[in-house]
Every structure is written in C-alpha cells, then in structure tokens.
Structure 1
C-alpha cells in the first residue's frame, strides 16, 4: 500500500517518508525529518526539523513534535528529537528537541501514550510503555523509566529521574527522584509504598512484591540512616533483582529521593 498524502500538506524536500504513511490535510513536516512506515499524521500537526519518528505512530491534531527548546541559551543549534515505534501522541502534545547544553537530543521510546496537552521538554529521555495523562508537564533533562504512569496535571522539575514501573498520582509535583516500583502522590510528591497493582499487572510475582514491601519499610520507615537502611536491605534481601535495583537507584540519586508520606523529613530520605 502506498502512502496517502493530502495535497494541502507541506512536506519539506529533505523529509524522508516510509511506506504506508498517511498524512492528513494541513500537516507540516520540516527539514531533515524521517517518518517511519505506517505512521499516521492527523490534520494540523507539525513535525519540526531534525525529528526522527519510527513505525506505526499515531500523531493527533495540533501536536507539535521537535519544536525548538524553551531554553534561554538556545541559539538555533542543530539538535534532535528521536521517537520510537507504536506511540500514540494526542491533541496539542508538545515535544521539544535537545540542546547543546544537554545531550543534544530528546529521546522517546516505543509503545507510549502521551495524552492531550502533555509536554516533554528538551533533553528528556522517556522509556518504553510510558503513559503521560492529560497536561502532564516534564521539564528539561527529565528521565522516565519504562512502564511508568504519570497522572493528569502533574509536573516534574528539571533533571529529575522517575524510576521504572512507578505510578505518580494526579496534580502532583516532583522536585526529587521517584524510585522504581513505587507509588507516589501529593502536591509535593511523597511515597505511599510499592506500586503493587501496577507490578502485578506487569507480571511481577508475589515474592518480588513482598520483598519490595519489606525493603520499603526498612528504607523509609525504620528510622535508620540511608546507608544503614540500604545495607540492611542488602543483607536481608539478597539476590532479588528488583530490590537490588531499588537500592542502586537510591544510592545513585544526585537529587535525593521523594520521602515517605509518614516520614517526610526523617533521615534525609
């Protein structure tokens, strides 16, 4: 099947279009872009320069992909936006390309859904199967792990990391890292234990869930210092990959991690 391109669409001569691409009326596709096989660009969406979009993506009306970063130091340098396969990008989503001050590219994985009016700023890195609900706002340099859900109208500060398989509640704000496998919520985001429902839906067995629950209690509710609690977890729960990942994420955090809702200021967590 050949591509279907409406005559009113504006396609830059340097754009590369894959097979079976559908482009609706009044779409604009900029210079040095690549649109993968089977991708559908709905009316009035804009694909800006230096954007690579993989296969079977569906981009809805008025989305703007690969726009210039909202960064005061940006001077028009050549930077990039790279998007994987099978993503759904809904109405009025904005995704900005990278900066030379950062990693020069914004990278989106595959199988994601970005709901209406969500925003992904420059130099972000988004893993596979991420859901951003309506009006979620990610500042620059944010990293989001795979299988994360961020509920509507939440905001994440620049340089924050959101660990894989975590769930962030709606109308929340995050200025500290959210560890993997966790449930977070609140105007100033706080932890409420492991994301057990999400973990079970994604095939985590009961042993892994129980181990994460125990690790959470030791790290966030034992009253021990961070290093004492992490050492105790390593001693009591060896050989469990999810627990080891949780411990390494907390140790590697440069920003500090979101606290437990009962112990917000305790022990420096």
Structure 2
C-alpha cells in the first residue's frame, strides 16, 4: 500500500493490499478500495463508496458525491463500482437516494472518459463505455456493453438495453432497445448496432435474421402491439430478439425510442 504524504485518508476507510493513493487525494468515511486500486492525484472519493479491484481513477474526478436531488437530507446512501474500472479526469459519480433504493451501481470493466457523469440511483452494466461528457440522469438503467457517445444525455429513469450504441450529442428521452443504434436531438432509433454485433462475433446469417426481425417489428404495417406479439412468436429461437421483446414489455411507463419520429 502506498499513500502520498499530501493525501487525506479518513480513519474509517478500508484499503486493501496494493492500493496506491497519489498526491492531494481525499478518501472519505465509509470508503472501501479493493486490491490494487490506484488514485493518481487530486481524486476525491467523498464517502460511502466501494471501488472494485484494479480500478484506476484520474485527477479531479469526484466519486461518491452527494446525490444531486432536492430531497436529499444527508441520509446514508452508497455508490458501488465493480472491478477494473478506468475513470478519467473530471468524472462525477453520485451516491443513491433513499427514494431510489439508496445505491448507485456501476458494473465492472467500465471505461468512463473525461467528464462523464453518473447520476443518483443509476444502474450501469459491465463493459460500458461513456465517452467524454456523456451524462446519465438519476435512476437511468444502462445494460451491459453499451456505448454512450460524447456529450449524449440519458433522461432520468431512461433505459438503454444491452449492446446498444448512442451517438454523440444525442438527447435520449425515450428508452432504447437492446442492440439498438440511436442518435440525434431528440434521439431516434436508426437500426441495430451492427458494429457492436460484428465485434461480438455475430455472423452474416445471424445479423440478417436480426435485421429481418427488426424491420418486421418497427417498419411493417399494423398495430405495434400486434407486431410485437408476431415477432415474439416468429423469432422465439433468437435470444437477442426475445431480449428486445422482454425489454419492451418490462416497462411501459416511458415511451420507446422509435425510427422516424
């Protein structure tokens, strides 16, 4: 364990083997840093935060700050970050609120570029990339392997399904299906995240069937609910399509990001 003489570490903080805390860092009460976490310099981890093993946090990031919520009165709330997170300069991750369950959760292997913001009570999956100044409103839910482009913003309570990609500067006010590709202001659905699917090893025949199901769901004639039921029956053997169907059916409180709107 290495702690620079200028760093301030609260006595209640728990530091595992291999932790390195650089100059002018501040580690507050109730913080747990797992094995080999590295705080480079000028990092603030305010309080009640867990950082998973091998996480690296760059200067001027504020991690575990109070939730930006008018009703917060200092109640005990937490932030949990998984292993192998890379957090670049000026990122801000807020703790949860009592109203939202009390915990903000960020998965493992995340890449958070300069200025990325994770709001209170958000749930972020594994292998998520947030490009420069991407922003999550409170209670947002981001699936695994999502890419959020620079300066995009996800509305509070918004959902982005697994494997989706959001373009830079997109204002996302509607839920984005798994494996979807959305961009624009306000964001529209422009198809599937073909680049992500290819990188994940999907072959041409698999992608062709996924595209056919997508077109039948979003571009065919008829009532959307009937198309959804038809696609669920016709493509029941495609796990990705069934994931999209389940995503749509899971929460009807917010509108869905659709093509051409």
- Bucket of the pairwise TM-score, normalised by the shorter protein: over 0.9
> In structure 2, what is the Cα distance between the partners aligned to 1:158 and 1:235?
32
> In structure 1, what is the Cα distance between the partners aligned to 2:148 and 2:191?
16
Q: How does 1:88-107 map to 2 (within 5 A)?
A: 88-107=86-105
- The alignment partner of 1:101 has SS state of helix
What is the aligned partner in structure 2 of residue 138 from structure 1? 136
What is the aligned partner in structure 2 of residue 129 from structure 1? 127
Q: How does 1:171-190 map to 2 (within 5 A)?
A: 171-190=169-188
Q: How does 1:1-269 map to 2 (within 5 A)?
A: 3-254=1-252, 255-261=254-260, 264=261
Question: Residue 126 of structure 1: CA displacement?
Answer: 0.3
Deviation by residue 1:83-131 (Cα, 9 ceiling, x = unmatched): 0000100000000000001010000000000100111000000000000
Deviation by residue 1:17-56 (Cα, 9 ceiling, x = unmatched): 0111111001000001100111100111101110011100
> In structure 2, what is the Cα distance between the partners aligned to 1:166 and 1:128?
13
> In structure 2, what is the Cα distance between the partners aligned to 1:234 and 1:259?
18
User: TM-score scaled by structure 1?
Assistant: 0.95
> In structure 2, what is the Cα distance between the partners aligned to 1:211 and 1:230?
16
CA contact (8 A) 1:84 1:110 kept: yes
- The alignment partner of 1:152 has SS state of coil
CA contact (8 A) 1:112 1:128 kept: yes
CA RMSD of aligned residues (A): 0.9
CA contact (8 A) 1:250 1:256 kept: no
Unaligned runs of 5+ in 1: 265-269
> In structure 2, what is the Cα distance between the partners aligned to 1:185 and 1:253?
22
Which consecutive segments of 4 or more residues in structure 1 shift more than 3 A? 205-208
